[in-house]
């Protein structure tokens, strides 16, 4: 087995250890176990950073590989988890981001290098504005999803006066979960919009028309409308609590479904499959 494959397996194992040890630490109420989970995730993130940097330096056509984008998505989810941990002083979102990083990174390892038809002179612009912005927006949606799931669960427990399992008694307050959702939506929607606009401009240069009828375009426009409603209701009408939490959950699941079903299974010029 090539040395680089062993290196990537080490990253996957570090993320897996982080994903497994954190809930174990919650269940056993063992701070050392949670600390070990954080260290494992940090090690995975550090090695993953090296992996992406090496791919960028050693592979001239890395931006044309679908596996690179999925790996980048996993890296962004972990990066934003650490940012949220620093910002809100709580590591609860590890319950969502650590397993997501495991799935995405191991998924990227089994994807064969795919070739996306990207004109070389447009690659950097396309990556920076279209692909880069969309994956940061999706990673922020993943945070909003995790906070939303926590909010809906905790609110239901409070309203029904049900006992919260001991493993989840360290959950952040409802207000903290709502603030995570608000931050993710207020930053994520403008990035999603920038990505859409960059995609339309790129399509105009490449196919001489803004809309091509591609299934990814249609679904992405639908997601953008839902995202716009959530953004507007949050900022203009002051939505808080359960409604934005549930809407963020739905938008993230729709986005994830679109990434898996359309980018890998349907014929589309956004395909990340190997040709």
Q: Which two tokens stand for residue 70?
A: 């999925």
**Tens digits of residue pLDDT in 73-90:** 899 999 998 998 888 888
Whether 251 and 220 have beta carbons less than 8 Å apart is answered as no
Low-confidence ranges of the chain (pLDDT < 50): 115-117, 275
Q: What pLDDT is attached to residue 73?
A: 87
Residue 48's pLDDT is what? 95
Cα–Cα distance measured from residue 48 to residue 43, given in angstroms and rounded to the nearest whole number:
8
Write down the pLDDT at residue 125: 64
pTM to 2 decimal places: 0.82
CB 91 within 8 A of CB 138: no
CA distance linking residue 84 with residue 90, whole number of Å:
8
Q: What pLDDT does 123 receive?
A: 57
Instruction: Judge whether 144 and 180 are in contact, CB under 8 Å.
Output: yes
Sequence-separated (6 or more) residues with CB below 8 Å from residue 153:
168
pLDDT for 244 = 94
Looking at residue 273, its pLDDT comes to: 61
- pLDDT value for 127: 63
In this structure, what DSSP letter does residue 222 have? Answer: H
Note the pLDDT of residue 266.
73
pLDDT on residue 265: 73
User: What does the pLDDT read at residue 112?
Assistant: 61
């Amino acid at each position: 087995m090539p040395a680089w494959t062993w290196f990537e397996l080490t990253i996957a194992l570090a993320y897996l250890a982080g994903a497994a040890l954190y809930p174990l630490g919650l269940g056993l109420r063992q701070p050392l176990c949670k600390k070990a989970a954080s260290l494992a995730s940090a090690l995975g993130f550090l090695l993953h950073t090296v992996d992406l940097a090496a791919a960028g330096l050693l592979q001239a056509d890395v931006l044309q590989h679908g596996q690179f984008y999925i790996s980048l998505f996993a890296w962004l989810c972990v990066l934003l988890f650490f940012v949220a941990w620093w910002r809100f002083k709580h590591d609860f979102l590890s319950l969502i981001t650590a397993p997501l990083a495991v799935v995405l990174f191991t998924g990227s390892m089994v994807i064969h290098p795919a070739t996306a038809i990207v004109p070389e002179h447009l690659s950097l612009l396309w990556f920076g504005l279209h692909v880069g912005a969309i994956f940061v927006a999706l990673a922020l949606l993943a945070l909003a999803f995790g906070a939303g799931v926590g909010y809906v669960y905790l609110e239901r427990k409070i309203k029904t006066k049900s006992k919260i399992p001991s493993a989840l008694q360290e959950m952040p307050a409802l207000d903290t979960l709502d603030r995570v959702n608000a931050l993710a939506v207020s930053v994520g929607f403008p990035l999603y919009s920038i990505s859409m606009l960059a995609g339309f401009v790129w399509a105009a240069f490449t196919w001489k028309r803004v809309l091509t009828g591609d299934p990814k375009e249609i679904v992405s426009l639908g997601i953008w409308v839902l995202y716009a409603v959530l953004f507007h209701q949050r900022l203009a009408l002051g939505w808080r609590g359960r409604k934005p939490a549930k809407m963020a959950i739905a938008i993230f699941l729709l986005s994830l479904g679109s990434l898996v079903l359309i980018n890998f299974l349907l014929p589309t010029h956004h395909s990340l499959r190997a040709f």
